[in-house]
Amino acid sequence: MNIKIGILGYGNIGRGVETALRDNPDMELAAVFTRRDPSQVKILSENVPVISVSEIEAWKDKIDVLLLCGGSATDLPQQTPFYAKMFNVVDTFDTHAKVPAHFAAVDRSAKENGKIAIISVGWDPGLFSLSRLYGNVILPDGKDYTFWGKGVSQGHSDAIRRIKGVKNAKQYTCPVESAMRAVRNGENPELTTREKHIRECFVVLEDGADAAYVEKQIKTMPNYFAGYHTVVHFISEEEFDRNHQGLAHGGFVFRSGNTGKEKEHKHIIEFSLKLDSNPEFTTHVMAAYARAAARMAREGQTGCKTVFDIPPAYLSEKSGEKLRSSML
Amino acid sequence: MNIKIGILGYGNIGRGVETALRDNPDMELAAVFTRRDPSQVKILSENVPVISVSEIEAWKDKIDVLLLCGGSATDLPQQTPFYAKMFNVVDTFDTHAKVPAHFAAVDRSAKENGKIAIISVGWDPGLFSLSRLYGNVILPDGKDYTFWGKGVSQGHSDAIRRIKGVKNAKQYTCPVESAMRAVRNGENPELTTREKHIRECFVVLEDGADAAYVEKQIKTMPNYFAGYHTVVHFISEEEFDRNHQGLAHGGFVFRSGNTGKEKEHKHIIEFSLKLDSNPEFTTHVMAAYARAAARMAREGQTGCKTVFDIPPAYLSEKSGEKLRSSML
């Protein structure tokens, strides 16, 4: 019997889940829940109802796993503990510093209600976290390096758009090639986040705006750009619309370590992603972890889990036997 | 209390385990077991006994996990099911085609005796298998590519050494750069193992041997070299001893897949290793899985497991809380 999936929130992530389920024939979309007027939400799937979130409780027994597709800033800290009372849930909570508090709240709620909740699913946190963990346990004497990009940083793009005179803007985070090369060569450099990344900005100005002023405001913005190698390009609205609508992203995780009697041997573990669509890739990761959530729930497991707790085989619809003969 | 480790077999792998344990302070080497005369086996560690394998049964309750450091061709098919009767064990069984039979034999033996056995630990099978699994579940609509090298193939080196007139030889398997580039570009090429690899051979001839004959014998050798792009270098014994003693290896696993309404988005997942010492890296992977074996045994789990069955957190000595706050 197929795993019945609910989507809560129909933005980029919700739409991504919907297409991801098409690639996973053992799962099916049961319903989309929205805070908007359901009659105004047009989804891709035929014969799948769009339901007001106010009626979600009636679906308690009709859904195996609810995928929470809201944002980490305000939605998920509320939603995940709340919906883990009624459903097995998966979220993409990605505020690294707040993971412990989020985990505690979700764990309490899920355990009290006999549900499974898998949080912080995606690629960072998610697959990158797994790479860091495998790298650290295999090469305890070593260093970690995470590079992001090339990809759009939504928060930084928003920050530029708040500057007076800016009509539209997109900020790309790009890894510094020479820093990556040093890591690949096993040089074990000391690198701050600022030394590992360039911030490249594409800005459309309002009519009559002062380019020099805008550029200075960007480059000196505390926390966001000050201290970074920041490149600003002013472009036309046409060029912006033509070339900067994408949601590509990616990044690299390295573990560089030494082994041997005299620590004479170097080893480099490298994991990287090159993604045309950040939300679609993220939601494909979610779909695989939804499968694991359904299996853990069937086994009677409860509480909050992360990617660290899930045996890799639980992500696959294939039997252990089939996995061993085809992929080991 | 530290995890007490036994090593069975003191070759490259056994010696690698010994140095790996020094990087893992929660584990300690309790004894090395050998088929040779123990008085002739000199190990690195002080105050650790070297014991004849004939006396291993007396160590049943003094060792938490026994690491089996023999070869896959003849040792492990016998040893792993046999020692899983007395010990929790980890092996590096790497004959992909024979994994199902090996698993079945080990599982039966471990279950009957209440032990945990983790087989096929290392990097391929092992970390590469994990990359294939994660890649497949996340991008179900995609293709896998595994490239090996640059690294020494022991079996191919041996095959060259059997040719009349060859004094010594080393064969390196090298990935074809243009094939890797096509994969990284998302071109999804159809590639056989032969199209992905070059076989580079360094050969020392016996005095008076016929180089042309040897080269032809190599290049036309069925299964091993015929059909491969094979390069043969004849070198002096001095050069061989100076430059070809290393045990470096590595490789690449790609998953190239598509997502989206019209499958319009490409994604590339890449995992790679660059290793100065194949046996030392392999044994560092074994050490991490020995920790998982000890934990599963404490929990009362039994039977045969592979890397697919082990929750990543079980590989670390850190608590779940610590892992979430430091690596997620």
B97 and B157 in a single domain? The answer is: no
What CATH code is carried by the domain that includes residue B116?
A: 3.40.50.720
Instruction: Say whether A265 and B276 touch across the interface (CB within 8 A).
Output: yes
Neighbours of B235 (CB within 10 A): 17
What does the mean pLDDT of chain B come to?
96
A9 and A115 in a single domain? The answer is: yes
Number of domains in chain B: 2
Buried b (16+ CB within 10 A) or exposed e, A304-324: bbbbbbbbbbbbbebebeebb
How sure is the predictor about B73, in pLDDT bands with cuts at 50, 70 and 90?
A: confident
Instruction: Say whether A328 and B125 touch across the interface (CB within 8 A).
Output: yes
Residue B111 inside a domain? The answer is yes
Instruction: Say whether A316 and B137 touch across the interface (CB within 8 A).
Output: yes
pLDDT at A152: 92
What CATH code is carried by the domain that includes residue B207?
A: 3.30.360.10
For B83-101, the pLDDT digits (tens) are: 999 999 999 999 989 999 9
The three-state secondary structure class of A160 is helix
Which residues in chain B have their CB less than 8 angstroms from residue A132's CB? 327
Nearest to B306 by CA among B137, B128, B139: B128
> For A194-202, what is the mean pLDDT?
95
For A261-300, the pLDDT digits (tens) are: 999 999 999 999 999 999 999 999 999 999 999 999 999 9
Instruction: Say whether B138 and A288 touch across the interface (CB within 8 A).
Output: yes
What does the mean pLDDT of chain A come to?
96
A209 and A101 in a single domain? The answer is: no
How sure is the predictor about A250, in pLDDT bands with cuts at 50, 70 and 90?
A: very high
Task: Give the Cα separation of B188 and B179 in Å (integer).
Answer: 10
Is the CB of B60 inside 8 Å of chain A's CB atoms?
Answer: no
Which residues in chain B have their CB less than 8 angstroms from residue A320's CB? 308-309
Does A173 count as an annotated binding residue?
yes
Task: Give the Cα separation of B211 and B218 in Å (integer).
Answer: 11
Residue B62 inside a domain? The answer is yes
Task: Give the Cα separation of B155 and A287 in Å (integer).
Answer: 41
Is the CB of B252 inside 8 Å of chain A's CB atoms?
Answer: no
The label of the residue with tokens 């800033």 reads A73
Which residues in chain A have their CB less than 8 angstroms from residue B143's CB? none
A208 and A312 in a single domain? The answer is: no
Question: Quick check: B150 pLDDT over 90?
Answer: yes
Which of A138, A291, A324 lies at the smallest CB-CB distance from B306? A324
For B201-232, the pLDDT digits (tens) are: 999 999 999 999 999 999 999 989 998 999 99
Does A24 count as an annotated binding residue?
no
pLDDT at B105: 98
Instruction: Say whether A133 and B323 touch across the interface (CB within 8 A).
Output: yes
Residue B272 inside a domain? The answer is no
Give phi and psi for B251, each to the nearest 5. Answer: 165, 180
Residue A198 inside a domain? The answer is yes
The label of the residue with tokens 């509480």 reads A303
Domain end among B247, B268, B298: B247
Domain of B208 in residue numbering reads as 151-247
A100 and A164 in a single domain? The answer is: no
How sure is the predictor about A42, in pLDDT bands with cuts at 50, 70 and 90?
A: very high
Which residues numbered 189-208 in A keep a CB inside 8 Å of some CB on B?
none
Instruction: Say whether B324 and A100 touch across the interface (CB within 8 A).
Output: yes
A237 and A296 in a single domain? The answer is: no
Is the CB of A187 inside 8 Å of chain B's CB atoms?
Answer: no
A181 and A286 in a single domain? The answer is: no
Which of B100, B311, B321 lies at the smallest CB-CB distance from A321? B100
Which residues numbered 81-100 in A keep a CB inside 8 Å of some CB on B?
96, 99-100
pLDDT at A193: 86
> Residue B30 carries which side chain, given as an amino acid letter?
A
Question: Quick check: A218 pLDDT over 90?
Answer: yes
Domain end among A201, A227, A247: A247
Residue B263 inside a domain? The answer is no
B94 and B167 in a single domain? The answer is: no
Instruction: Say whether B265 and A273 touch across the interface (CB within 8 A).
Output: no
A174 and A103 in a single domain? The answer is: no
Residue A68 inside a domain? The answer is yes
Residue B273 inside a domain? The answer is no
With DSSP H G I counted as helix, E B as strand and the rest as coil, what are the percentages for chain B, rounded to 5?
A: 40, 25, 35
> For B107-113, what is the mean pLDDT?
98
Which residues in chain B have their CB less than 8 angstroms from residue A261's CB? 19, 44
Instruction: Say whether B312 and A134 touch across the interface (CB within 8 A).
Output: yes
Which residues numbered 257-296 in A keep a CB inside 8 Å of some CB on B?
259-261, 264-277, 280-281, 284-285, 288, 291
Give phi and psi for B208, each to the nearest 5. Answer: 75, 5
How sure is the predictor about A6, in pLDDT bands with cuts at 50, 70 and 90?
A: very high
Residue A75 inside a domain? The answer is yes
A110 and A210 in a single domain? The answer is: no
From the number of C-beta atoms within 10 Å of its C-beta (0-12, 13-18, 19+), residue A276 rates as buried
Buried b (16+ CB within 10 A) or exposed e, B1-20: eebbbbbbbbebbbbbbbbb
Task: Give the Cα separation of A58 and A76 in Å (integer).
Answer: 21
Domain end among A207, A228, A247: A247
Instruction: Say whether A312 and B100 touch across the interface (CB within 8 A).
Output: no
pTM for the whole thing?
Answer: 0.95
Nearest to B306 by CA among A105, A325, A26: A325
For B267-301, the pLDDT digits (tens) are: 999 999 999 999 999 999 999 999 999 999 999 99
Which residues in chain A have their CB less than 8 angstroms from residue B323's CB? 133, 308
Instruction: Say whether A327 and B103 touch across the interface (CB within 8 A).
Output: no
pLDDT at B193: 86
For A106-134, the pLDDT digits (tens) are: 999 999 999 999 999 999 999 999 999 99
The label of the residue with tokens 């074809």 reads B176
A191 and A100 in a single domain? The answer is: no
Chain A closest-CA separation from residue B65 CA (Å): 17
A14 and A88 in a single domain? The answer is: yes
